[in-house]
Structure 1
Amino acid sequence: MNISGFEINHGTEFKFCGNPCCSSITPLCFAGIDTLCARNRCKTNWYHFSLGEHVCSNCYEFLNTNTSKHRSQSVNSVWRHRMNSWRREWLKKSSKLGRRRILNAANFLAAQMLPWWLKCNKCGLWRQLPPQTTVGSSKCNYRPDKFTCADVVKVGYFFYLTCFLVNMHQPIRFYNHVSANRPVVVRIVA
């Protein structure tokens, strides 16, 4: 039994990411906000955000009220309310700087729902932060200049063992990192 919520249906038609540089064999929807979310069932089109990070068309259209399919559901949804309050806050801050622009569902997904990654200062690996973490704010517990694996993994012995083993034999690994709402692929080489 698969407890992750992502099951592979072998009898379905597969649709892959349309980006030719994407190496994801089966894209996974990182948003999962619509009841019709494809997860990894590959029946719908995919929106590519970065290497390994995709949103299914059902979740994307759920936030977009311009589509008639989801208009009645998404107007009163919690996610739509979150997106509108984020949009108002963004416009308030950007209008002070003189840089007003219209934000859409893709901007909201990239800024608010993509996971953040920070590099450990001891072992040099990139670690994914918990959801809803605001990096860079004064209330944030994660500071890029002082970040270690112990900040995410709360078991001290496991942390030291992990950093020690990684320093002994560190393979080439690829990780995603989101910086200023633009996905950047980072390669760590020993």
Structure 2
Amino acid sequence: MRRLGFLLGLCLVALLSGCATGGGDTLAPKTAGPVDLKRYQGKWYELARLPMYFQRDCAQSEAHYNAKPDGTLGVLNRCRMLDGEWIRAEGNARPQEAGHTDKLWVEFDNWFTRLAPGVARGEYWVLYVDSRYRTAIVGSPDRKYLWILSRTPSLPAWERENLLAKARQQGYDTNRLIWRVSDRDIAARH
């Protein structure tokens, strides 16, 4: 049942974020500029996120990206529940506009997207990625969704604060962030 809720939530978020923004929003956040998708691929830990329905029970989340020869990314999102169970969703990401790799459409592979292709897709804007591709900030242009990502499951406080400052400068409410639960805390609940 949790898996169904996770997948339905991903569809809903994708659908709503795809419809929520207009093309001429001059107040939209600034993106990172060209993103090297080959360097971006791999495993990212979600350190923090804004609250959203489809991740409501996730204690830990990961995103795995795989650059494809056609310029798209394969996407595998994993969510670990407090009981230790992992659920997953797979999809694809592609540039919203050819040659602009900082603004992507993400579409998950499920019954809804197969029923209505191209309708349930979400906007995935890379707002920041450091020069070593070790940390990133991703959000939606309507500022409803935000993820702070890292190649490691934790960061030093100074680096975390630097990422939070960047997100605040873009107009995101970082006071509402939900932080990754540690492995130790999950193990203590069993």
* Interval containing the TM-score (normalised by the shorter chain): under 0.3
Q: TM-score, normalised by structure 2?
A: 0.23
State the structure with more CA Rg. 1
Q: TM-score, normalised by structure 1?
A: 0.23
Q: Compare the two structures and name the one with the higher strand fraction.
A: 2
